[in-house]
A and B are shown apart, each in its own frame.
Chain A
């Protein structure tokens, strides 16, 4: 399954683009997605260690399976306020 992950702030800067596409095996979790992203874009590695993921604009757990057909985003540590 091919998925697109939105990137923001430092992760966007590190990757040099605002989204990444990676291929995942069926049943892959968000932990697997993090490993895949680190391989595909090594510059993301420092942030990936602390980042969370969102699916359909909601936080997910690392152990959740990656759903198909919803918007996915990498959420590096936030600094609003």
Chain B
């Protein structure tokens, strides 16, 4: 299951969905909004997606993970819009018969999501400035 949402991510129903009789392990990963990046303070973050493509890419990641590992449940949720500090912007929940598959799949899913899913974050600073984050560009204005 994949989802893009404007609302806070509630992990309780996600965990409930992952806890099925066939599963012996559930791994939950949360990416949460961090205050300091390279010494710069961020007051809040906002996320924008190219939604149809982001959904398609997330579906592709789920399908690939299910091919590579024997998973019981595989849930990817990304929040969009404004996300206050310390709240989850992304959740990956994976359940499997045994823990190696669950850990490996969850790690692979979040790493791939950060590489390929067309979602961008904007860091809003206390002085009112806001920068889009574009990781592989260097030296550009507000781009890292």
Contact = CB atoms under 8 A, between A and B. Distances in A.
A binds B: yes
Contacts, number: 90
B120 A46 contact: no
Contacts of A81: 31, 78, 89-90, 110, 113-114, 119
Nearest to A71: B52
A49 B142 CA distance: 16
A77 B115 CA distance: 8
Interface size class of B (residues with CB under 8 A): 20 to 34
B116 A59 contact: yes
A58 interface: yes
* Most B CB within 10 A of own CB, among A13, A47, A81: A81
A73 B50 contact: yes
B137 interface: yes
A79 B133 contact: yes
Contacts of B132: 9-10, 13, 76, 79
B137 A50 contact: yes
Contacts of B122: 9
B53 A79 contact: no
Contacts of B120: 8-10, 76, 78-80
Interface in A12-49: 13, 46-47, 49
Nearest to A43: B141
Contacts of B114: 78-81
Nearest to A76: B134
A76 B131 CA distance: 14
Contact of A47 (B31, B49, B117, B143): B143
A66 interface: no
A59 B57 CA distance: 9
Contact of B137 (A13, A49, A58): A49
A17 B117 CA distance: 22
Interface of A: 6, 8-10, 13, 46-47, 49-50, 54, 57-59, 73, 75-81
Given A9-B122, A79-B121, A79-B133, 14 more contacts: A8-B50, A9-B48, A9-B120, A46-B140, A49-B137, A54-B50, A73-B118, A76-B132, A78-B120, A79-B119, A80-B114, A80-B119, A81-B90, A81-B119
